[in-house]
Structure 1
Amino acid sequence: MNEWWRSAVIYQVYPRSYQDDNGDGVGDLAGITRRLDYIAALGVDCIWLSPIFASPQADMGYDVSDYKAVDPLFGDIAAFDTLIESAHARGLKVIVDQVLSHTSEKHEWFEQSRKSRDNAKADWYVWADPLPDGSPPTNWHSHFGGPAWEFDPQRGQYYLHNFLASQPDLNFHNPDVVDAILDTCKFWLERGLDGFRLDTVNYYFHDQKLRSNPPAQAKPQVMATDLYGMQNNIYNKTRPENLAFLERLRRLTDQYPDTMMVGEVGEMGNRSIEIMGEYTAGTSRLHMAYSFAMLGPDFNAEHFRNCIEGFQRGAPDGHPYWSFSNHDVPRQVSRWADHAVSEDAMGRLACAMLMSFEGTIGIYQGEELGQTETALTYDELTDPPAIRYWPAVKGRDGCRTPMVWEKDAPNAGFSTGTPWLPVKAPQAAKAVDQQGKDSILAFYKDMMAYRKASAALARGTTTFISLPEPILAFTRTAGGETLTCVFNLSPDVHVIRVTGAPIVTLANGAAFDEGLLTLRGNGFAYFAHEAEVALTKV
């Protein structure tokens, strides 16, 4: 079996914002197809498409109304087939976001389910009677604010929704639901899809006894849009039944050679690393998983080491997927600005770190340009949590603004129409046509080529070196090749004594002379060596 995904770099495309081909202001499949040469030239192995299925777009496609149809915003089935064929012709794999835990309220399944308590799909969603005082069945929170239950007067019951009230949760305890969901996955695999990114992969099952969650045991993590972190969320997600479903889904994908599944673990902190391990253990569950562990504000050596070592302990035979950004979090250059000498220095440091990590690597569109978070006004927002909680919550629109291709073209070359989110001058300044031979884009391409050419980086094992903050250091070893990677996670200068006979193979903001490695702010270096190398902080 060709396990191409083990050393892959996956490039996330947010279809609404990549390239508009028909001038309606929204990116589409034809636009992505037009830009495949650019994507292939990056040196990535696979494209991850955020949802393209039929949807009312209340949550930008994460509210599916038909799992077997392409939303007209993006094109049609023929456009999808063309994209797959064109990507494969360039050696690119394609995976698509599958949102299986919930649907849109406009899905025909839910429209039938809410009609009565005794129709054929009455039990396809999670319904429950009010408590005697009329309040919701449990204390569970919704991620987008308020209770995770919405009262439906037609049935006289509450239904569960972990996100928007217009995103009712499917009842995975019903075997007919599981069969139907697997059938939708098979539909796309039959069309040549190379696998799935599984949204909220630990949310499929709920506690059938409808027990309320206890308070958080540790310091509450109050997220910007909700109170989710104030509970120990043990009954509304990550239920043991999830594993059997993942194993069944794996059996389906294994019928299609060279396909893979990567799951998004919706959890924070150390627990997220534990779940990643559990969900990827062995060869019968997910091929790999990622969490939000590296997508937050934490930027220190201890944090990154704990994430990677935690996964090593929890799933010694599992496989991780690491990313610093996606469509749900602020751009990495902006998120970690307090630790940066400059945007460019942080962009290069983040790229070099990510490319050195063990596992599969994910890049979100625009990070290869060193893109920054877009500042938006209230009237420009589309993200439901931001609209509800403004100005305390800025929302996710700032990282979703369109890809910039030509600095001086209308809307930076994204669209000839009015774009669904604005293209502003700070973002246009980083357009592809402004990226020269010494640019962050060129650096990303070089780093991906370097990673592919290095057995140590592509598939090597990781051993950390204990150095005081803010220095992150480790070795990667495979195929007789050993690399030591050293990163300065601060804007200050730090000096490290290096003993042994290393050869500097890659460096930025670093100087190595007479056994001393001087790292300027956000500087880093890779050493190749045959004998053991020792590092000590000066």
Structure 2
Amino acid sequence: MRIRDTGDLWWKNAVIYCLDVETFMDWDDDGIGDFGGLVQRIDHLADLGVTCLWLMPFYPTADLDDGYDIKDFLGVDPRLGDVSDFVELIRTARDRGIRVIADLVVNHTSDQHPWFKAARRSKDSPYRDFYVWRADEPPPTHDEVMFPDEEQGIWTYDEQAGEWYRHRFYRHQPDLNTANPQVRDAIAKSIGYWMQLGLSGFRVDAVPYFVSGTADDHADGLDDPHDLLRELRGFLGRRRGDAILMGEVNVPYEEQRRYFGVETRTGDEDDVQGPVGQELTLQLDFNAMQYLFLSLARQDVAPLVDTLRARPAIPRDTQWATFLRSHDELTLDRLTDEERQEIFAAFGPEPHMQIFDRGLRRRLPPMLDGDPRRLRNAYSLLFALPGTPVLFYGEEIGMGENLDVPGRLSVRTPMQWTAERNAGFSRAQPRRLVAPPPDGGYAPEHVNVADQRRDPDSMYTFMQMLIRRYRECPELGWGEVEILEQPEPSVLAMRSTWQDASMVTLHNIGPEATTVTLELDDIPADTRLVDLLQNGEQVIGKDGKVEVTLDSYGYRWLRISRPESRRLL
């Protein structure tokens, strides 16, 4: 494959940036962000180096779950603008080389959606089977709810309908029966509509929780969630060949592999040669994220190394999406109770920092005590991991959370543009803001875009450089990764190789400086290792070894520069 061919699978080394329109930039001064404000700030994303913008839900909503309780899959929340404003965003982003994807929420609707209103009126309604009902009182289901602090079970009795409806999430979000062919047709219609307006794909919310009705209702096999994903991927591909589905699939690796739609050709479970993925294009890697935080808490890379080695083989046209923080709580549900408590003790010891007994409602900078060395080390590690990095808005400047804002919304405060009132997000009265910015050391007067853009030593400048270097290194997104054994438990050494390009990344997640000895026997003596993140280079000795010093929380990206290489360094 030639370097120019990497654009065909653009997601393999993209930089994805997630934001909520209502908290990014307010242009009509009502205290709520809007598409007009996002368009005005698109050059910030282009300057940062973002190549793909992921929009959280912007559809009409009852707004009881920050937009995930949708009333109309084909509309725009009037507080944010209208369809023409959305089209202007797509056009402006495309002009800057930025693709746009959006949340696809097909697990449930709002109970204010016209479908549910019609469904609850009569058992004979054509929309009745759009949802999942039962006539008898269900057994206790508290252990199945997603939000145990707020719901007691996944079934709620509806007086008007005279039956119980299912909701894996909140009671105001009745589950769609995605085994119903009419529901699938409606989902496809929504996908086709937004694709026609310019989207490059979707992030599919809560994939493992698609509701499939009952076996008696769907004996034809439509109750298979993988069948639905194959349908959606096929429809997406017919409409636009380079569009993607990125899935939220928080399950163990052995289950997660299936959601790529791997179809082996020889019966061998490890035979995934060729572009054979038929379902999700990317999957957010919750396993690596959780064990990365366990490694940070212990200052020992072993949990992360073990997890990376446990990653299953996947088709060449698919990819893992790596991240540190997201719009949700920092979930730790894949860990044991003891491991979870280690992370709580290290990064969120106070009860009000924790949520649902399984996660943290904090952003990364306060978790790392605002230490710029630890913060830069963590993001350097994120971009060095095999996969496509995903950023949440505000990470590029080191924003903190506001724990006075309830629940998961503590990390969804307004983007901090300037040190002025309301963080430069809005000119509305502060009481009208969608949420208040944090105070203290992470207040806008201390953390904002305007100041950091002018500071060559700022977090923003570092992230800008990191993204540029990542984009210049296709071996990070495309290459084969080898974990290099090291005696120091705080050091992770990885070698990424793609075609004639190869580099070694080193990360010391501990507070003590150390020296790393690399053994690169296949590389000729006197070959240079050029540091891409700071000035300097190393030379491989005649024994194939080279020593590299890592400071406290130090990190190095070393490009192997062979004499015949013509790559710019």
Length-normalised TM-score, structure 2: 0.78
Indicate whether 1:283 and 2:286 are aligned.
no
In structure 2, the partner of 1:476 is 496
Q: Tell whether the 8 Å contact from 2:35 to 2:80 is kept in structure 1 after alignment.
A: yes
Deviation of 1:136 (Å)? 4.0
Q: Which of 147, 153, 176 is the aligned partner of 1:144?
A: 147
Supply the distance in 2 between the matched residues of 1:138 and 1:367 (Cα, whole angstroms).
37
Indicate whether 1:405 and 2:417 are aligned.
yes
Change (3 A) 1:333 1:512: farther
Deviation of 1:295 (Å)? 4.4
Structural mapping, 1:97-496, within 5 Å: 97-130=103-136, 134-136=137-139, 141-145=144-148, 146-206=152-212, 208=214, 241-254=224-237, 255-267=239-251, 270=253, 273-274=256-257, 277=260, 282-296=276-290, 297-300=293-296, 301-313=301-313, 318-329=318-329, 330-334=361-365, 336-337=367-368, 342-376=370-404, 380-381=405-406, 395-407=407-419, 409-417=420-428, 418=430, 419-425=433-439, 426-428=442-444, 429-435=446-452, 436-467=455-486, 468-496=488-516
Answer with 356-365 or 45-54: which moved more: 356-365
Change (3 A) 1:30 1:317: closer
Supply the distance in 2 between the matched residues of 1:129 and 1:138 (Cα, whole angstroms).
16
Change (3 A) 1:424 1:179: same
Relative to its length, the structure with more helix (as a share) is: 2
The one-letter code sitting in structure 1 at the alignment partner of 2:303 is H
> Percent same amino acid among aligned pairs?
29
The one-letter code sitting in structure 1 at the alignment partner of 2:145 is S
Q: Tell whether the 8 Å contact from 1:96 to 1:197 is kept in structure 2 after alignment.
A: yes
The one-letter code sitting in structure 2 at the alignment partner of 1:287 is T
Supply the distance in 1 between the matched residues of 2:38 and 2:262 (Cα, whole angstroms).
31
Answer with 158-167 or 420-429: which moved more: 420-429
Deviation of 1:447 (Å)? 1.1
Supply the distance in 2 between the matched residues of 1:272 and 1:372 (Cα, whole angstroms).
34
Q: Tell whether the 8 Å contact from 1:472 to 1:487 is kept in structure 2 after alignment.
A: yes
Change (3 A) 1:509 1:270: farther
Supply the distance in 1 between the matched residues of 2:362 and 2:475 (Cα, whole angstroms).
29
Deviation of 1:95 (Å)? 0.6
In structure 1, the partner of 2:4 is none
Q: Deviations over 1:462-503 (max 9, x none)?
A: 111123422111100113121111111222333322355552
Supply the distance in 2 between the matched residues of 1:367 and 1:357 (Cα, whole angstroms).
18
Change (3 A) 1:307 1:205: farther
Q: Tell whether the 8 Å contact from 2:483 to 2:494 is kept in structure 1 after alignment.
A: yes
Change (3 A) 1:348 1:421: same
The one-letter code sitting in structure 1 at the alignment partner of 2:417 is W
Supply the distance in 2 between the matched residues of 1:490 and 1:276 (Cα, whole angstroms).
35
In structure 2, the partner of 1:234 is none
Question: Which blocks of at least 5 consecutive residues in structure 2 are unaligned?
Answer: 1-6, 217-221, 264-271, 330-360, 521-526, 563-569
Deviation of 1:172 (Å)? 1.2
- Cα-Cα RMSD: 2.7
Q: Tell whether the 8 Å contact from 2:281 to 2:319 is kept in structure 1 after alignment.
A: yes
Supply the distance in 2 between the matched residues of 1:56 and 1:63 (Cα, whole angstroms).
6
The one-letter code sitting in structure 2 at the alignment partner of 1:444 is M
Q: Deviations over 1:345-377 (max 9, x none)?
A: 12211221121122222111111112222231x
Supply the distance in 2 between the matched residues of 1:24 and 1:277 (Cα, whole angstroms).
42
The one-letter code sitting in structure 2 at the alignment partner of 1:433 is A
Deviation of 1:193 (Å)? 1.1
The one-letter code sitting in structure 2 at the alignment partner of 1:246 is L
Question: Which blocks of at least 5 consecutive residues in structure 1 are unaligned?
Answer: 211-238, 382-394, 532-538
Partner SS state of residue 123, structure 1: helix
The one-letter code sitting in structure 2 at the alignment partner of 1:178 is R
In structure 2, the partner of 1:44 is 50
In structure 1, the partner of 2:343 is none
Change (3 A) 1:372 1:492: farther
Supply the distance in 1 between the matched residues of 2:253 and 2:535 (Cα, whole angstroms).
32
Length-normalised TM-score, structure 1: 0.83
Supply the distance in 2 between the matched residues of 1:6 and 1:317 (Cα, whole angstroms).
8
Q: Deviations over 1:132-154 (max 9, x none)?
A: xx444866522123101111122
Q: Tell whether the 8 Å contact from 1:115 to 1:155 is kept in structure 2 after alignment.
A: yes
Q: Tell whether the 8 Å contact from 2:295 to 2:303 is kept in structure 1 after alignment.
A: yes
Q: Deviations over 1:68-106 (max 9, x none)?
A: 010012111111111111111111101111111100000
Answer with 118-127 or 104-113: which moved more: 118-127
Supply the distance in 1 between the matched residues of 2:223 and 2:512 (Cα, whole angstroms).
46
